[in-house]
């Protein structure tokens, strides 16, 4: 991958975090995650690149450590578990005023092929087929983890983290042979000798400092550990269909998942899931993120009007749930 670090530096210099599309070098927002924003910089040398800006590092040691884990995580997923990923790279630099800015870079995938977009075109049968394909991909990671528990990989199976290769929105059906790409690798959770490699504190830095104790508790107990747990990853994936405005799919997918864990995935010994459990999980999870985002907006307001300091993070607009 050819990366123009000079362009990234120039982009950063003229970035308006409140309105990225009106920055000196404009950027189109490709998507919002729960924590960060992904955009395409509108310049020749950044065409077809998905740029994920990480303004969270305080020292060179921190960013180089992250880069090592990020690359290692991507390589292990690709080579050891057999999951497919888009082409990727990483770049970082120090700005004129001494801030460290890092970018996870990825080949940009067609927006209609991103699964949360694609399912809006699909019928129930196709969504069910897609869901089974996702479970099969996840199973590659879970089998790897079962064989190497000390070096387990965390994975976030949500539907918005996958893309369908060669997807044709004009013919939005999907077969069992379709290939999926996993692209949400910016939180590279992985263990080595049983020890988590990624410092979760890094990902709390976008949170208001006055609420760190709450965030720390939510993250460490709830959010970070669930990515290693096949049952919780599956519950999270299914519950996500409420957020994606497909509540009618939840019972269908609970049924499909139970079928999968009774058959192909039986080695994992997963206790059957129930719809009630998914609903309870969703209302708790949605609350966590709504509160988190509201606190960050309040923090941005504090920075602007009270502290009169620049607010460096990009926040999503209203997320429909
Ligand atoms: N390579 C890509 N090509 C096109 N769109 C992308 C790409 N990567 C991300 N996106 C868009 O941005 C959205 C969020 O991306 P992603 O899942 O990587 O980040 P995230 O959920 O914020 O991750 P995290 O919460 O781990 O920081 C995706 O659902 C998708 O719409
Ligand atoms: Mg994501």
**Which one is predicted more confidently, 161 or 285?**
161
Q: With contact defined as beta carbons under 8 Å apart, do 218 and 146 qualify?
A: no
Check residue 207 and give its pLDDT: 64
Residue 53 and residue 291: Cα distance in Å, rounded?
23
For the CA of 156, the closest atom of ligand 1 is 26
Of the candidates 299, 301, 294, 268, the one whose C-alpha atom is nearest the C-alpha of residue 140 is: 268
* Angstrom distances, CA of residue 106 to CA of 81, 168, 281, 298: 20, 21, 31, 31
**For residue 45, is pLDDT > 80?**
yes
Mean pLDDT over residues 307-321, rounded? Answer: 69
CA atoms within 13 A on the CB side of 41: 28
Alpha helices in the chain (DSSP H): 5-13, 60-76, 115-118, 124-147, 212-217, 230-243, 249-262, 275-301
**For residue 31, is pLDDT > 60?**
yes
Check residue 201 and give its pLDDT: 78
Tell which one of 85, 184, 185, 218 to mutate to probe ligand 1, the residue whose CB is within 8 A of the most ligand atoms.
184
Residue 116 and residue 160: Cα distance in Å, rounded?
5
Check residue 147 and give its pLDDT: 97
Check residue 237 and give its pLDDT: 96
The number of beta carbons lying within 10 Å of the beta carbon of residue 69 is 17
Residue 202 and residue 134: Cα distance in Å, rounded?
28
35 lines ligand 1 (CB under 6 A): yes
Of all residues in the chain, what percent carry a pLDDT higher than 90? Answer: 69
- Which distant-in-sequence residues (6+ apart) come within 8 Å of 19 by Cβ? none
**For residue 5, is pLDDT > 80?**
yes
Of the candidates 281, 203, 209, the one whose C-alpha atom is nearest the C-alpha of residue 241 is: 281
Check residue 223 and give its pLDDT: 60
- Per-residue pLDDT tens digits for 64-118: 999 999 999 999 999 999 999 999 999 999 999 999 999 999 999 999 999 999 9
**Which one is predicted more confidently, 220 or 201?**
201
Residue nearest to ligand 1 atom 1, measured at CA: 108
- Per-residue pLDDT tens digits for 115-134: 999 999 999 999 999 999 99
Maximum CA pair distance of the chain? Answer: 58
- For residues 212, 218, 220, 223, the Cα torsion angle rounded to the nearest 10 degrees is -130
* Angstrom distances, CA of residue 152 to CA of 112, 134, 148: 32, 19, 6
Of the candidates 162, 159, 160, 164, the one whose C-alpha atom is nearest the C-alpha of residue 174 is: 164
Quick one: pLDDT band at residue 283, thresholds 50, 70, 90? confident
Residue nearest to ligand 1 atom 12, measured at CA: 31
Query: Phi-psi category of 108—alpha, beta or left, where left has phi over 0 and alpha has psi -120 to 50?
Result: beta
Residue nearest to ligand 1 atom 20, measured at CA: 33
**For residue 34, is pLDDT > 60?**
no
187 lines ligand 1 (CB under 6 A): yes
Counted residue by residue, the chain has a size of 321
Check residue 318 and give its pLDDT: 62
5-107 belongs to which CATH class?
alpha beta
For the CA of 107, the closest atom of ligand 1 is 1
**For residue 202, is pLDDT > 90?**
no
- Per-residue pLDDT tens digits for 48-63: 999 999 888 999 999 9
Of the candidates 114, 184, 118, the one whose C-alpha atom is nearest the C-alpha of residue 155 is: 184
**For residue 218, is pLDDT > 70?**
no
Residue 275 and residue 256: Cα distance in Å, rounded?
12
Task: Compute the distance from residue 158 Cα to the ligand 2 centre, in Å.
Answer: 7
Q: What is the DSSP letter of 220?
A: I
Query: How far does the chain reach from its first CA to its final CA, in angstroms?
Result: 36
- Per-residue pLDDT tens digits for 228-255: 999 999 999 999 999 899 999 999 999 9
164 lines ligand 1 (CB under 6 A): no
For the CA of 38, the closest atom of ligand 1 is 12
Residue 86 and residue 70: Cα distance in Å, rounded?
14
Task: Compute the distance from residue 48 Cα to the ligand 2 centre, in Å.
Answer: 19
**Which one is predicted more confidently, 301 or 22?**
22
**For residue 204, is pLDDT > 90?**
no
Pair of tokens at residue 281 = 């999980």
Q: What is the DSSP letter of 308?
A: -
60-74, 87-101, 194-208, 299-313, range with the lowest pLDDT: 299-313
Check residue 19 and give its pLDDT: 86
Residue 312 and residue 310: Cα distance in Å, rounded?
6
> pTM (2 decimals)?
0.88
**For residue 291, is pLDDT > 80?**
no
Task: Compute the distance from residue 152 Cα to the ligand 1 centre, in Å.
Answer: 22
- Which distant-in-sequence residues (6+ apart) come within 8 Å of 214 by Cβ? none
Q: What residue ranges do the domains of the chain occupy?
A: 5-107, 111-307
Tell which one of 1, 27, 31, 317 to mutate to probe ligand 1, the residue whose CB is within 8 A of the most ligand atoms.
31
- Per-residue pLDDT tens digits for 137-185: 999 999 999 999 999 999 999 999 999 999 999 999 999 999 999 999 9
């Amino acid at each position: 991958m050819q990366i123009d670090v000079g362009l990234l530096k120039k982009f950063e210099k003229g970035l308006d975090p409140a309105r990225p599309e009106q920055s000196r070098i404009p950027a189109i927002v490709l998507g919002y995650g729960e924590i960060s924003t992904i955009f395409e910089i509108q310049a020749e040398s950044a065409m077809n690149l998905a740029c994920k800006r990480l303004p969270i590092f305080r020292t060179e040691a921190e960013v180089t450590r992250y880069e090592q884990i990020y690359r290692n995580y991507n390589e292990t997923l690709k080579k050891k578990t057999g999951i497919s990923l888009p082409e990727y790279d990483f770049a970082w630099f120090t700005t004129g005023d001494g801030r460290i800015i890092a970018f996870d870079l990825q080949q940009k995938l067609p927006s209609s092929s991103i699964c949360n977009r694609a399912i809006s075109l699909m019928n129930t049968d196709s969504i069910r087929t897609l869901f089974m394909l996702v479970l099969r991909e996840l199973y590659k990671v879970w089998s790897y983890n079962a064989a190497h528990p000390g070096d387990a990989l965390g994975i976030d199976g949500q539907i918005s983290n996958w893309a369908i290769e060669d997807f044709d929105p004009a013919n939005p059906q999907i077969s069992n042979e379709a290939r999926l790409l996993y692209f949400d690798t910016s939180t590279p959770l992985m263990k080595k000798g049983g020890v988590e490699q990624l410092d979760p504190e890094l990902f709390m830095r976008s949170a208001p400092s006055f609420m760190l104790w709450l965030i720390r508790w939510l993250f460490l107990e709830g959010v970070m550990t669930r990515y290693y747990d096949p049952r919780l990853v599956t519950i999270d994936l299914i519950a996500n269909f409420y957020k994606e405005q497909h509540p009618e799919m939840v019972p269908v997918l609970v049924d499909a998942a139970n079928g999968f864990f009774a058959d192909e995935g039986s080695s994992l010994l997963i206790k059957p899931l129930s719809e009630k459990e998914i609903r309870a999980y969703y209302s708790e999870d949605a609350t966590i993120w709504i509160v988190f985002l509201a606190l960050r907006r309040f923090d941005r307001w504090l920075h602007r009007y009270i502290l009169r300091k620049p607010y460096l993070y990009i926040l999503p607009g209203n997320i429909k749930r």
